[in-house]
Amino acid sequence: MKFAIQINEGPFTHQAADTAYQFTKAALANGHEIFRVFFYHDGVNNGTMYGVPPIDDRNVQQMWSELAEEHDLDLVVCVAAAQRRGIMDEDESKRHGKGAANIAPKFRISGLGQLIEAGIQADRLLVFGD
Amino acid sequence: MSDTKKFVYINRKAPYGTVYALESLEVVLIGAAFEQEVQLVFVDDGVYQLTKGQDTDGIGMKNFSKTYSALGDYDVNQIYVDEQSLKDRGLTMDDLQELTYEDEDDDWAEKSSMKLVNREQLADLISDADVLLNF
């Protein structure tokens, strides 16, 4: 089956991103396709490369980057939600006169149209978060 | 499966206090360009999103309530309000903005986009959805 994933909460406060990660991993292991993972609301905070959790805790952001690397996942951060919360790639950072980009490896910034397209293209869109 | 799907947006939260209502509306407006069938449901505290006379001056938040009246221009004209949620909060349809659209099949007559639904109808709406987005 072709799944699309939407994540609406950031890392750590809610378990939503962890659950979405576990689901995505299990789906891939069982031969399913992940069309796209779309990060919305505070979910965009999963895409910052500056998270440094304690060494004995999981690093949710890094888990996503590694999974995406392994399976060539399309991790999309909503641009409007990201701008509100200060998640930026090089282009965005320059355009808004900020000092540096902070988006994590394998994440990309794009529009809400990517979420709608995922809803259209996937057999199921699964939403994680409040 | 055809390329047209039924997108149902369930709006469950008050307009302020969390960002979900505002960011739901942003998805709906962007999604309108994709020519899918779109239905909006307002349930639980979500019914407060449509109340008339919102004034956010005292809380320093952007008042985005006027944006709902533009939905008709985006061909978003199937808006369902849960009757029980209104009742539980001492509200009636009179407390809500009147959202309308112009019906191109009826000489652009202005018609109401809003429908009151009971829980059974709501369950049917949800089970008929292809894509269900909760906010």
Contact A119 B33 (CB under 8 A): no
How many Cβ atoms sit within 10 Å of the Cβ of residue B93? 15
List pLDDT tens digits, range B9-37: 999 999 999 999 999 999 999 999 999 99
B1 in any annotated domain: no
Give the model confidence (pLDDT) of B36-61 as tens digits.
Answer: 999 999 999 999 999 999 999 999 89
Per-position DSSP letters for A21-63, written without gaps between them:
HHHHHHHHHTT-EEEEEEE-GGGGGGGBTT----TTS--HHHH
Give residues 111 to 130 of B whose Cβ lies within 8 Å of A. Answer: 130
3-class secondary structure, A122: coil
Number of domains in chain B: 1
A125/B133 touch (CB, cutoff 8 Å), yes or no: yes
- Report, as residue numbers or ranges, the catalytic residues of A: 78
| Distance of alpha carbon A32 from alpha carbon A89, whole angstroms | 30
Are the beta carbons of A45 and A9 closer than 8 angstroms?
A: no
pLDDT(B84) > 90: yes
Residues A119, B27: C-beta atoms closer than 8 Å: no
Q: Which CATH class is domain A2-128?
A: alpha beta
Q: Does a structural domain hold residue B33?
A: yes
Q: Going residue by residue through chain A, which has 130 residues, state the pLDDT in tens, using 9 for 90 and above.
A: 999 999 999 999 999 999 999 999 999 999 999 999 999 999 999 999 999 999 999 999 999 999 999 999 999 999 999 999 999 999 999 999 998 999 999 999 999 999 999 999 999 999 999 7
Q: Is pLDDT above 80 for B132? A: yes
Instruction: List Cβ neighbours of A86 (8 Å cut-off, separation of 6 or more).
Output: A102
Say which of A80, A120, A130 has its CB closest to residue B5. Answer: A120
The ipTM value here is 0.84
Contact A116 B27 (CB under 8 A): yes
Domain span at residue B102 reads 6-134
Chain B residue with minimum CA distance to A117: B34
Determine, yes or no, domain membership for B51: yes
For residue B91, the domain's CATH number is 3.40.1260.10
